Structure formats: structure tokens, C-alpha cells
Amino acid sequence: MKKFTCVQDIGPLDIALAKAAEVKANPFSDQILGKNKTLLMIFFNSSLRTRLSTQKAALNLGMNVIVLDINQGAWKLETERGVIMDGDKSEHILEAIPVMASYCDIIGVRSFARLEDKAFDYNETILNQFIEYSGKPVFSMEAATRHPLQSFADLITIEEYKKVERPKVVLTWAPHPKALPQAVPNSFAEWMRETDYEFVITHPEGYELSEDFTKGVRIEYDIEAAYKDADFIYAKNWSKFNDPDYGKVVNIDRSWMVDEKKMQLTRNAKFMHCLPVRRNMIVSDDVIESKDSIVIPEAANRVVSAQVVIREMLKSI
Ligand code: CP
């Protein structure tokens, strides 16, 4: 595998899930693959889970790991070609990428949507520069439009907890005080569409995601109808995708918070969220602390999804 940025890169999901089960059962069995190989993890944005789980996955595979928080200690990077660099940015990303690549064998990149320019974000300008100019396998640790390591972990978790063959999985928008990217919901929708689950998205009118990710998916504006008989409730906030308000928050309607009353409509649904989560904005204390909350095993499965991806990349170099 030379790149991992979307669901298509992982291949058939049944095979990916079998590899996940393999990795989970024997996390240290492939240490020879990573011996004397180096993973470079580059963060343009903050992280807790991705930083630790991906590092742990690489260590399980016997790799060395270098972590760079590009905005803390490195030179400020210019990312656009043609700019006269007379401001505060000392280095161009087009030199920085091949230099960084010369120190490693595999690169993970986190580069969130800036929510200022939809074309810049949805062209995945930063991630694609790494793919084009590094000459090394590159995987996304959440980019502008997708978070595939999260979605793969979500899928693994649903498979582990589902009680029926074809569960009803509901992605619900939930309120948040700040503008957040659409990467997690886009990606979750992209992965769910590849399963045979009953998949429903519910959100207030105006929060439609890009049809590139939701085409063919049932969008339910009636939140109670969406929750009815659900087996999994996956909560996430996202800012507006559609113009003219791209990247803006136009609604923080608190009634969309996941609470016990709504969960009563479900079929004892499991509660999921990628974390970090703002309690009593996105989800009530009661729900996230309930026996049906699976946010911790979901986060733990981030090691598994990362390890499957890095292992495939190690096999390709
Ligand atoms: N879910 C997730 O990616 O968490 P972090 O932002 O903490 O890495």
C-alpha cells in the first residue's frame, strides 16, 4: 500500500477486517517487518488519540518513530507556490517535504481543513503535496476531508459490538460552540456506504455534507425518526459545507445533543464518538458514562486500524 487516504485504499472491507482481527490477536508478530524502519508522524494540528495510537501501532511493528509538531519548533511553512516569501514563513513545503522524507520510510500526516477556502480544503492541498513530493508511502492521520484511520477503527468497533447482522447505524450532527471540519462525518459516511448496514444521517437543515460522501444515503431531518430502533448512535459536530456559509456555524441548537431521552428511542443503541467530545454539548454525562457507551474501546481500536495500515505499507517497501 503506497497511500491511505480513503476507504478505497484499504481494499475489500471483509479482508481489512480479517487483518484487523489478526493484528488484534497477535500485535507483536510482525516486528521483523518494521526493524530498522522509521515512521515520521507530522502534525499540523493537535492530537491525543492519533498521536499515541499510531505511535503504539508502529512500536508494535518494531519501527522507530519520529514525531514532528510542525507549528511548534519547526520553521513556519509556506504551502502555496508563487508566493513571495517576505513574511513570517521561512521555509517552503516543497523543500521541507523531500527533506523530511529523506529521514524516514513511511510518513503520516495530520492536516485539518482550514475552513477558509473550500477548494483548498477539498483538493486536499497539503496531503497531496506529501503524496506527490515525498516519494514515500503516506497515510492520512486526518486530513481536510477525511479521517480514514478513525473510520476504519469505527468499523472494527461496530463489527465487534453489533448484535444483528445488518445493524441500523445513525450518524447524528450535535451542537458545538466552534466551527469544526467535515472530515470525520464525511469519512464515516464513506466507510458506512461500503457496508451493507442500514445507514442514516440526521442533522438540522442546512448542514448537508458533500454528496460525494452521502450520495444514496438516507438523510433524515426528523431526529426521532432517525433514532428509532437504531443499534448505533454516532455523534459528531460539523460546520456547514454548502456555500455561502462554508466552514461556518449557523446553528448550535442544544436540542440535538445526544441524551437519555433520545437514546430511549433506540434498540439499546451503543453510543459512539471519535473523541475528544464536549460533554453536555454533544452528549450528556449520563449517555457517555452509560454501559452502552463504547467510546473507549472505539479509541482503543485506533491502534488496530493504524497497525493494519502501517503493516501493509511496510510490506510494500
Ligand atoms: N479521534 C481523534 O482523531 O482524536 P485526536 O484528535 O485526539 O487524535
Q: What confidence tier does 26 reach under pLDDT thresholds 50, 70, 90? A: very high
pLDDT at residue number 101: 98
The dihedrals phi and psi of 156, each to the nearest 5 degrees, come to: -55, -45
Which residues of the chain form CATH 3.40.50.1370? 3-146+301-316, 150-298
Q: Tell which one of 41, 42, 45, 48 to mutate to probe ligand 1, the residue whose CB is within 8 A of the most ligand atoms.
A: 48
Instruction: For ligand 1, pick from 46, 49, 53, 150 the residue to mutate: most ligand atoms within 8 Å of CB.
Output: 49
Q: Whose CA is nearest to atom 6 of ligand 1?
A: 47
pLDDT interval class at 202 (50, 70, 90): very high
Q: How far apart are CA 78 and CA 67, in angstroms?
A: 20
What lines the ligand 1 site, CB under 6 Å? 47-50, 142, 150, 274-276
d(CA 111, CA 184): 13
Question: Which ligand 1 atom lies nearest to the CA of residue 274?
Answer: 1
Is 90 exceeded by the pLDDT of residue 250? no
Q: Ligand 1: which of 111, 141, 187, 302 to mutate, judged by most atoms within 8 Å of the beta carbon?
A: 302
What whole-number distance in Å separates Cα of residue 244 and Cα of residue 144? 19
Tell me: pLDDT of 61 over 90: yes
Q: Which CATH class is domain 3-146+301-316?
A: alpha beta
Whether the per-residue pLDDT at 73 is higher than 90: the answer is: no
270-272 β-sheet, strand order: 218-219, 198-202, 168-173, 232-236, 270-272
Mean pLDDT for the stretch of residues 146-161: 98
Closest-CA residue to 61 (of 99, 19, 98, 102): 19
Q: How far is the CA of 83 from the centre of ligand 1 (A)?
A: 32
Report helix angle 49-60 to 295-315, nearest 10: 50
Average pLDDT, the chain: 97
CA of 155 to the centre of ligand 1 (A): 16
CATH 3.30.70.560 fits 150-298, yes or no: no
- Residues shown for the chain: 317
Nearest CA to ligand 1 atom 1: 274
**Does residue 219 carry a pLDDT above 90?**
yes
CA 290 to centroid of ligand 1, rounded, Å: 22
Report pLDDT for 252.
81
Kindly report the protein residue whose alpha carbon is nearest to atom 4 of ligand 1. 49
Task: Read off the pLDDT of each residue in 280-294 and give the average, rounded to a whole number.
Answer: 98
- pLDDT tens readout for residues 30-42: 999 999 999 999 9
Q: For residue 277, what pLDDT is reported?
A: 98
Average pLDDT (72-85) is: 93
Where b means 16+ CB within 10 Å and e means fewer, 157-177 reads bbbebeeeeebbbbbbbbbbe
Q: What is the pLDDT of residues 178-193, one digit of tens each?
A: 999 999 999 999 999 9
- Which of 109, 112, 234, 274 has most ligand 1 atoms within 8 Å of its beta carbon, as the pocket-test mutant? 274
Tell me what percent of the residues of the chain surpass a pLDDT of 90: 97
Residues contacting residue 78 through CB under 8 Å, at least 6 positions apart = 85, 89, 91, 92, 93
d(CA 7, CA 243): 26
251, pLDDT greater than 90 = no
In ligand 1, the atom with minimum distance to the C-alpha of 147 is 3
**Of 304, 20, 6, which Cα lies nearest the Cα of 147?**
6
Give the number of other CB atoms < 10 A from CB of residue 206: 12
Report the nearest atom of ligand 1 relative to the CA of 141. Answer: 3
How far lies 284's CA from each of 153, 169, 259, in Å? 23, 20, 5
Phi, psi of 171 (to 5 degrees): -95, 115
- The three three-digit cell numbers of residue 310, written as one number: 502501517
pLDDT tens sequence across 79-104: 988 999 999 999 999 999 999 999 99
How far apart are the CA of 277 and the centre of ligand 1, in A? 10
**What's the pLDDT score for residue 41?**
98
- What is the CA(121)–ligand 1 centre distance, in A? 19
What distance in angstroms lies between residue 142's CA and the mean position of ligand 1's atoms? 8
- Residue 97: its pLDDT value, please? 98
pTM of the model: 0.97
Distance 175 CA to ligand 1 centre (A): 18
